[in-house]
A and B are shown apart, each in its own frame.
Chain A
């Protein structure tokens, strides 16, 4: 029996208001349960746009999406309950403490009381933030904010986790903790869709990657196999540069 895709994206196109060029055009993509799927692409490729639409932040201009069999047009609330989001920008209240932030976002997923507190503490410990639970977020370093941002997206143990560049601007130690945690989550069955500029990271982490440029998928597959198909490039980064060209993007 052929496995049903967990996330099905068909002909997704998005024109931003007042823009004549599409931010993404005709993206078609199936993602399966238990995958770690990498969306790779230079700046402005359309990664954030794709993730935003998948999370229901705004509707696409064209195309359709189903997640876990739920159509995003008719069942957005159902989808929102099973997804977790870690936005590219730190999405926390700077004047609230780490605990207060996490409590609020947990509450919004119907988590509360002791259960919620335990979930929060458990994750704060994993990410080395337990000492800062009662500190305001605006006193945090960039790396600490990113880790907290991550925790806020996975308190409710979502079936699918969308991460938009979760490892940008953080040190090697934090990066290892985050990637290990994601791998562990994935082992427990969480499907992960993640964007990055770090090819090596993606090569190690992802079961499959899609390379996007100027709003279109230009290559898709298992990173090892992609490199194997073009042995002259040795690694994903070289292949990526070859596919997307060296010119700067906006």
Chain B
């Protein structure tokens, strides 16, 4: 046991002296996180946050529907309404032209008289309903036709993200429904007071419909919407943790190729002890790395005008996920360092395989944005288990139970790789003979 601790101390010293290795381990990851978050936040931010998206709004209706839509878009804080281009008021044609030339992303045309048509139709519907109660003579209204309702036209720039397009469409649809509902109630109230003069229409605030509120479904809620930071920080943390494969394999191979192997093998200790000591040191490194990156997410990202990482308050599950991810990275490094014979092999295969596994596992692109087949493949990448676990903790306030599946998968991966390493070492001595 003492020998093990002394071997750990030696590994620690070796690592501290390896300045380049330390830089790979600690500086690069922080840099990566800041860079990635900045890049993606800027991309997003221009749509969603600081600068509002301008919308060309051609209002030929000037009645309740167009007013509702205008107010809704204005209140949403994502858009600014544009009524005129230069000095000329907007027309359907000039709006189409402006979107076509890519000057604006969205143009909305509310046709003339649309509110009136809808209102008429609502009247007819209410009348037919009242007729059903016997309050109006059905014969009177039997043959009244519904009005044809014109369409609202929306021009979209072809580069617009489908999700964004859908968001705009559903907002407009929602404003339309609200408007119609209000009309129905008003008309109904009017008709009722005609029929029953004693009927006092209630004072109704028609905007009191259903309200939505975005909330984390964890017990102790943090009312903060997930953003790119919540993906980026865990993603690049995991990525960097796996990159210990490079210094770890390099250290393994260096010891094997350099003269020290001769002496190591002549020592009255099993070679595995050396491997284990190395693993222990790199395990600690991984954990420190993870801690630093999360701290960078919390304290450094805000300095760059990027939202702060919200880690929730499930520290124990978080530590477990960090531990399991470290183990997986470590096992992978041990395996590669043992199976490969040269530095070039290990570094080449190590880094390329990490990048591939990371891409498959949803580090570059979150798994929920991947096409179907990719999603099926992704679930076999240890990166995916790791990031799912971190999502659970960060976004859903996941408890110990929630992360268990991911935790065990990662530990199993570690055990698998260590088993391969040991079996290989058992049959193949590190020395060429």
Give residues in A with beta carbon < 8 Å to B. 16-17, 52, 55-58, 77, 80-81, 83, 85, 87, 89-96, 100, 103-105, 107-110, 112, 136, 152-153
B431 contacts across to A, CB distance below 8 A: 52, 57-58
Task: Please tell me if the beta carbons of B262 and A108 are within 8 angstroms of each other in the complex.
Answer: no
Q: What's the minimum C-beta distance from A216 to chain B, rounded to whole angstroms?
A: 20
Whole-angstrom CA separation of A122 from B18 in the bound complex: 30
Whole-angstrom CA separation of A100 from B260 in the bound complex: 14
Among candidates A57, A81, A112, residue contacting B262 with C-beta atoms closer than 8 Å:
A57
Among candidates B6, B18, B261, residue contacting A104 with C-beta atoms closer than 8 Å:
B6
A153 contacts across to B, CB distance below 8 A: 263
Task: Please tell me if the beta carbons of A58 and B13 are within 8 angstroms of each other in the complex.
Answer: no
Q: What's the minimum C-beta distance from A53 to chain B, rounded to whole angstroms?
A: 9
Counting chain A CB atoms within 10 Å of each CB, which of B3, B10, B14, B261 scores highest? B10
Of the listed stretches B97-105, B265-273, B404-412, chain A binds B265-273
Task: Please tell me if the beta carbons of B3 and A110 are within 8 angstroms of each other in the complex.
Answer: yes
Whole-angstrom CA separation of A179 from B6 in the bound complex: 32
Q: What's the minimum C-beta distance from A100 to chain B, rounded to whole angstroms?
A: 6
Whole-angstrom CA separation of A91 from B267 in the bound complex: 12
Whole-angstrom CA separation of A92 from B259 in the bound complex: 7
Name B's interface SS: helix
Q: Which of B1-55 contact A (CB under 8 A)?
A: 2-3, 6-7, 9-10, 13-14, 17-18
Task: Please tell me if the beta carbons of A57 and B7 are within 8 angstroms of each other in the complex.
Answer: no
Task: Please tell me if the beta carbons of B267 and A96 are within 8 angstroms of each other in the complex.
Answer: no
Count of CB-CB pairs between chains A and B under 8 Å = 85
Task: Please tell me if the beta carbons of A56 and B267 are within 8 angstroms of each other in the complex.
Answer: no
Chain B 232-267 interface mask (CB, 8 Å, partner A; 1/0): 000000000000000000000000001111111111
Task: Please tell me if the beta carbons of B267 and A105 are within 8 angstroms of each other in the complex.
Answer: yes
Task: Please tell me if the beta carbons of A58 and B10 are within 8 angstroms of each other in the complex.
Answer: no
Given contacts A91-B260, A92-B259, A92-B260, A57 and B266 within 8 Å (CB-CB): yes
Task: Please tell me if the beta carbons of B259 and A96 are within 8 angstroms of each other in the complex.
Answer: no
Given contacts A107-B2, A108-B3, A108-B7, A96 and B14 within 8 Å (CB-CB): yes
Counting chain A CB atoms within 10 Å of each CB, which of B2, B258, B262 scores highest? B262
